[in-house]
Chains A and B, each alone.
Chain A
Amino acid sequence: MEDFLPTSLCSTTRKVQPDPPVNLSLQVIQSAGILYLWAKWSPPPLVDVRSGWLILHYELRLKSEEWEEWETIFVGQQTHYKAFKLHPGLKYIVQVHCMLDHGEWSEWSSESYIQIPNGQSPGKPELLRCRSPEKETFTCWWKPGSDGGLPTNYTLFYSKEGDKSINECPDYRTAGPNSCYFNKKHTSLWAIYNITIKATNKRGSNISEPQYVDVTYIVQPDPPVNLSLEVKKQVDGKPYLLLKWYPPPLADVKSGWLTLEYKLRLKPEEAEEWETIFVGQQTQYKLFSLNPGKKYIAQVHCKPDHGEWSEWSSESYIQIPSDIELKDVIVWIFVAVLSSIICLIIIGMMALKGFSMVACILPPVPGPKIKGLDTHLLETGRSVELLSALGCQDFPPTSDCEDLLVEFLEVDDSEDQQLMPSHEKGHPSKNMKSAHKETDSDSGRGSCDSPFLLSERSREPRIPPSAFQTPDISEIPENNARKSSCEIQSTDLKEIIPYFSIGGAKLSMGLGAQLLNNQTPKCSYHDITNVCKIAHGTMNVNVASILGGNEENQQSQYSKPTETISEETLDKQGEVESLHSKVDQDRMQLLPNEKSPFLSAKLMDYVEIHKVNQDGALAVLPKQKENGGKTENCTVPGTNKEYAKVSRVVDNSILVIIPVSRVQSTPMFQEPPKESVQNLQQSQREKNMSYCFTTPSECKIDTGGLDYLDPTSFMCSFN
Chain B
Amino acid sequence: MEPVGQPLGPHFLRQSGQRVGDPAHAALPVGYAWLCALLGLLGKPPGAAFVAICARQGDSSCRFLSVSDLFDRVIQHSDRLHSLSTEKNFLPNGNALGKWTGKCHTSKMLTPNGKEYVQKIPREELTHLILRLLQAWKEPLSHFDQNIGHHQELSSDSLSKAKQISSMVHELKTGMEKVTEKMQSMGIISNSLNGMGSSEAAGLSISNEANLMSDYEFIHCFRRDSNKVQSYLKILKCRIWPGNSC
Which segment, of A144-152, A210-218, A537-545, A594-602, faces chain B?
Answer: A210-218
Given contacts A162-B103, A255-B238, A257-B231, contact A280 B24 (CB under 8 A): yes
Give the complex CA separation of A255 and B231 in angstroms. 10
B97 with A254: CB separation less than 8 A? no
Of the listed residues A161, A162, A252, A261, the one surrounded by the most CB atoms of chain B closer than 10 A to its CB is: A161
> Total interface residues on B, using CB and 8 Å?
28
Binary CB contact string for chain A from 125 to 137 against chain B (1 if under 8 A, 0 otherwise): 0000000000110
Segment of B34-42, B109-117, B137-145, B169-177 engaged in the interface with chain A: B109-117
Tell me if A443 is interfacial: C-beta within 8 Å of chain B.
no
Q: Which residues of B contact A188 (CB under 8 A)?
A: 113-114
A281 closest partner in B (C-beta): B24
Enumerate chain B residues within 8 angstroms of A254, measured Cβ to Cβ: 238, 242, 246
- Contact partners of A210 in chain B: CB under 8 A: 98
B161 at the interface (CB under 8 A from A): no
The minimal Cβ–Cβ distance linking A57 to chain B, given in whole angstroms, is 53
B114 partner, pick from A136, A162, A212, A281, beta carbons under 8 A: A136
Q: Give chain A nearest CB distance to B90 CB in angstroms.
A: 14
Q: Which of B217-246 contact A (CB under 8 A)?
A: 224, 227-228, 231, 234-235, 237-239, 242, 245-246
Q: Which of A167-214 contact B (CB under 8 A)?
A: 184, 187-192, 194, 210, 212, 214
Whether B115 lies near A255 (C-beta < 8 A) is yes
Which residues in B have their C-beta under 8 angstroms from that of A261?
24
Partner of B115, one of A136, A161, A212, A305: A136
Q: Whose C-beta in chain A lies nearest to the C-beta of B225?
A: A190
Contact present for B97 and A212 (CB under 8 Å): yes
| A257 touching B115, Cβ below 8 Å | yes
Assess whether B86 is interfacial by the CB under 8 Å rule.
yes
Complex contact B115–A252 (CB within 8 A) = yes
Q: Would you call B68 an interface residue if the criterion is a C-beta within 8 Å of the partner chain's C-beta atoms? A: no
Given known contacts A162-B107, A254-B246, is B227 in contact with A306 (CB within 8 Å)? yes
- Of all chain A residues, which has the CB nearest B118? A257
User: How many angstroms from the CA of A161 to the CA of B119 in the assembled complex?
Assistant: 23
| Bound: A255/B116 CA distance, A | 11
Minimum CB–CB distance for B111 against chain A, Å: 7
Q: Report B-chain residues with C-beta under 8 Å of the C-beta of A135.
A: 115
B136 shortest CB reach to chain A, Å = 14
Contact at A216–B97, with CB atoms within 8 Å? no
Are A256 and B246 in contact, with the CB atoms below 8 A? yes
Give CA–CA (A32, B115) in the complex, Å: 45
Task: List chain A residues, Cβ under 8 A from B234.
Answer: 256-257, 259
User: How far is it, in angstroms, between the C-alpha of A357 and the C-alpha of B137 when the chains are bound?
Assistant: 106
Instruction: List 7 tightest A-B contacts by C-beta distance, closest first.
Output: A256-B234, A256-B238, A212-B97, A188-B113, A189-B113, A212-B98, A280-B24
Interface of A toward B, CB cutoff 8 Å: 135-136, 161-162, 184, 187-192, 194, 210, 212, 214, 216, 252-257, 259, 261, 280-281, 305-306
Beyond A257-B231, A306-B86, 5 extra complex contacts between A and B, CB < 8 Å: A135-B115, A184-B116, A188-B114, A190-B224, A257-B235
B interface residues, Cβ below 8 angstroms from A: 24, 79, 82, 86, 95, 97-98, 103, 107, 111, 113-116, 118-119, 224, 227-228, 231, 234-235, 237-239, 242, 245-246
A-B pairs with beta carbons under 8 Å apart, 18 shown: A136-B114, A161-B103, A187-B114, A190-B224, A190-B227, A194-B98, A210-B98, A212-B98, A214-B97, A216-B227, A256-B235, A256-B238, A257-B115, A257-B118, A257-B235, A261-B24, A305-B79, A306-B227
